[in-house]
Amino acid sequence: MIDFDSFLKEYREKLANIFKKEHETNSDALDRGICQESLSTILSSKPLAAFIEREHGGFGGHTGEALSMLEASSYESLPLSLMMGINGALFLQPLANYGSDEAKKEVFDRVINQGKMGGLMITEPDYGSEALKMQTSVQFNPNEQYYAVKGTKHWAGLTGMADYWIMTAREKNGQGELTRDISFFVHDSRKGGIEVEEYYNNLGLYMLPYGRNQVDIKVPESHKLQPKGTGITLMLDLLHRSRLQFPGMGMGFLRRMMDEAMTHCRERLVGGINLLSYDQVRSRVSKIQSYFTVCSAMCNFTATNVPLKHNTAKMDVEANAIKSVLTDYMQKASQSLLQLTGAKGYRLDHIAGRSTVDSRPFQIFEGSNDILYQQITESIMKAMRKMKNANLYEFLKDYHLTTNASDYFKEVLNFELDTKMPQRKLVELGQALGRIISMEFTLKLGEQGFNKQLIEQAIINVQDEVTSILTQFKTTKLSDVVDYYQEESSWFSLQKQPAI
C-alpha cells in the first residue's frame, strides 16, 4: 500500500480530472447519481482506507488524514465528500469502535479491496429529530440465533446503493413494548430485506440517492454492535464524532467558495472597475475567507483532540458548536458567492447555484441547527449552575473552550444570565456561544503559525457577528404567531372603491 501523502496527491489529481471533464461535458449537474465509471475510478484510489486502521489494511485511521481526504473530495464535489463522510463517520468508524472482529475483518476487506460502501439508517417518517422514539423494532430469535429487525426508514444517504447498512432499532420487552435503548446492527445488503418503496427527488446533492425503505432483515449475533455502556451512549459517540468531522467536508468546500469568489471578483468588471474594488463586495469576500479560516481551526481542533479510539459521547458542546457554526458558514458562503456571481450563478450547473442547494441540508441533518444551538446553551447553563456562577463572562473566561476568546467579548458578555428564557433566546445564545468557541479554536490556530492576516480578519468578522447576535439576544420584545391570520388580512379588500 502506498503512503498517505502519495495517495492524497494522486487522489486530488484524479478528482480534478474527473470533475473537470464532467463539467466540460455538462454531464454531472443535472443527472442524478454518479456514473459507474467515475465512481469506480474514484474508489480504486481507496479513499475510504483513510478511515481504517492499519491492521485491517487501511492507512491507519488517523483523524487528520480522514479530514484531509474529505477536504480533497469537497474541493471538487461536496456531494462526493458527503458520500465519503457517510461511509467514514456513519459506518466505518462505528464498526471499528463497536464491531466484532469477524464483522470488521469481512467488511473492511470488501470496502478497501472491492470498493464497497456503507450507510446508516436512523431517521423514520414520523421520527426525525426525535430519533430516540423510533418505531423500528428488534427481537432476538434464540433458536436460530439471529436478530429480526422490522420498520420503515427514510432519508438514509446511499439509499438503494449501499452494500452495508448500520441499522438502528429498539428492542421489544416481554410484553411486546419497545424499550428505551437503541441497538445497532450491521446488515449486508446481499442478504436482502431492505426494499426501497420510493426514491426522493432531493433538492440538491444529486449524486446521492435518498428514499423510503421497508426494512425486514435478519442479522447474525456477530453483527450486532457492542456498546461499552448503553446503546444511547454509542449513538452519542457516533453522532458527536461525525459532527466533529464535518469540518473535513466544509474545508474543501469553503476553499473552493473562496477561490471562486476571488477569481470572479477580480475578473468581473462592473462600472469600469472590477468587483473586488467595491467595499460591499470586499465585505462579502472577507467573510468567506473568515469562514475558511474558522473551518481550518475546527479541522485543527478535531485532528488534534479526536483520535478514533477516543469516546466522544461527552463532547456535546464541541461537536454541536462545530457542526452548527460550520454548516451556517457553508450556507452563507455559497449564498454570498451566488450573490457575487449574479445571474450566472443562478444555474444548477454553476458552482454557486449548486453549492447553495448542496450545502443547505447540512443545517438540517445530523441534528437540526436550531436544536443544536439550544443544546449548546443548555449544556453551558448546566456547567454554570455546577460552578455556581451566574455571570456569563466570569464563567466563560475559566471555561476550557472559551478561556482566550471570552476576552474579546468582555463587555457584551458581562451580565447575569437569567436561566428562565424562551426557546428562541436559548437558540440565539447558542449561536453566540458556538461562535465564541470557534474563535477559541481560531486563536489556537493562529498561535500555531497559520496565516496571520487571515486570523486577524477572521477575529474581526466573528467579533462582529457575536456582538450583533448578543444585541438581538438582549432585546426583550418577542414576536408571536398570529393563529387567525386569514381574518382582515387582505390589503386589497381595504382599497377604497374607485370613484365613478
Ligand X SMILES: Cc1cc2nc3c(=O)[nH]c(=O)nc-3n(C[C@H](O)[C@H](O)[C@H](O)COP(=O)(O)OP(=O)(O)OC[C@H]3O[C@@H](n4cnc5c(N)ncnc54)[C@H](O)[C@@H]3O)c2cc1C
Coil/strand/helix, residue 291: helix
Evaluate whether 54 touches 69 at the Cβ level (below 8 Å): no
Q: Which of 247, 353, 361, 430 binds ligand X (CB under 6 A)?
A: 361
Total residues binding ligand X (CB under 6 A): 20
Q: Choose between 302 and 327: whose C-beta lies nearer to ligand X.
A: 327
**Residue 15 phi, psi (nearest 5):** -65, -40
Centre a 10 Å sphere on the Cβ of residue 181 and count the other Cβ atoms it contains: 15
Beta bridge partners of 482: none
* H runs (alpha helix) in 268-315: 279-305
**Between the CA atoms of 295, 365, 245 and 95, what dihedral angle is there, to the nearest 10 degrees?**
-170
Q: Choose between 188 and 366: whose C-beta lies nearer to ligand X.
A: 366
Evaluate whether 211 touches 199 at the Cβ level (below 8 Å): yes
* H runs (alpha helix) in 387-451: 392-396, 410-413, 423-447
| Binding window for ligand X (CB under 6 A); candidates: 153-161, 271-279, 334-342, 463-471 | 153-161
Q: Which of 88, 157, 231, 247 binds ligand X (CB under 6 A)?
A: 157
| 429 binds ligand X, rule: CB under 6 A | no
Q: Which of 61, 79, 99, 119 binds ligand X (CB under 6 A)?
A: 119
| 161 binds ligand X, rule: CB under 6 A | no
Q: Which of 27, 40, 129, 304 binds ligand X (CB under 6 A)?
A: 129
The three-point CA angle 97-103-108 to 5° equals 80
| 365 binds ligand X, rule: CB under 6 A | yes
| 265 binds ligand X, rule: CB under 6 A | no
| Binding window for ligand X (CB under 6 A); candidates: 5-13, 316-324, 341-349, 361-369 | 361-369
| Binding window for ligand X (CB under 6 A); candidates: 1-9, 122-130, 255-263, 295-303 | 122-130
Per-residue contact flags (x/-) with ligand X for residues 199 to 238, judged by CB under 6 A: ---x--x---------------------------------
Q: Which of 18, 120, 275, 443 binds ligand X (CB under 6 A)?
A: 120
Q: Report the chain's terminal Cα–Cα distance, integer Å.
A: 88
Kindly give, in sequence order, each residue whose CB lies less than 8 Å from that of residue 276, ignoring residues fewer than 6 positions away.
Answer: 262, 265, 266, 282, 285
| Binding window for ligand X (CB under 6 A); candidates: 143-151, 155-163, 278-286, 301-309 | 155-163
Q: Which of 132, 357, 371, 421 binds ligand X (CB under 6 A)?
A: 371
As given in the structure block, the three cell numbers for residue 14 are 484524479
To the nearest whole angstrom, how small is the minimum distance from the Cβ of residue 307 to ligand X?
24
| 193 binds ligand X, rule: CB under 6 A | no
| Binding window for ligand X (CB under 6 A); candidates: 11-19, 121-129, 292-300, 488-496 | 121-129
| Binding window for ligand X (CB under 6 A); candidates: 47-55, 59-67, 152-160, 321-329 | 152-160
| Binding window for ligand X (CB under 6 A); candidates: 109-117, 327-335, 362-370, 445-453 | 362-370
**Residue 275 phi, psi (nearest 5):** -55, -35
| 421 binds ligand X, rule: CB under 6 A | no
Nearest to 288 by CA among 264, 267, 262: 262
d(CA 386, CA 113): 51
Q: CB-based burial of residue 70 (10 Å sphere; 0-12 exposed, 13-18 middle, 19+ buried)? A: buried
**Residue 390 phi, psi (nearest 5):** -100, -15
The amino acid at 4: F
| 370 binds ligand X, rule: CB under 6 A | yes
Q: Choose between 208 and 306: whose C-beta lies nearer to ligand X.
A: 208
Segment (H or E) for 354: helix 351-359
| 155 binds ligand X, rule: CB under 6 A | yes
d(CA 139, CA 120): 20
Q: Choose between 81 and 406: whose C-beta lies nearer to ligand X.
A: 81
DSSP assigned state of 401: T
| 121 binds ligand X, rule: CB under 6 A | yes
| 151 binds ligand X, rule: CB under 6 A | no
Which parts of this chain interact with ligand X (CB under 6 A)?
86, 119-123, 128-129, 155-157, 202, 205, 361, 364-366, 368, 370-371
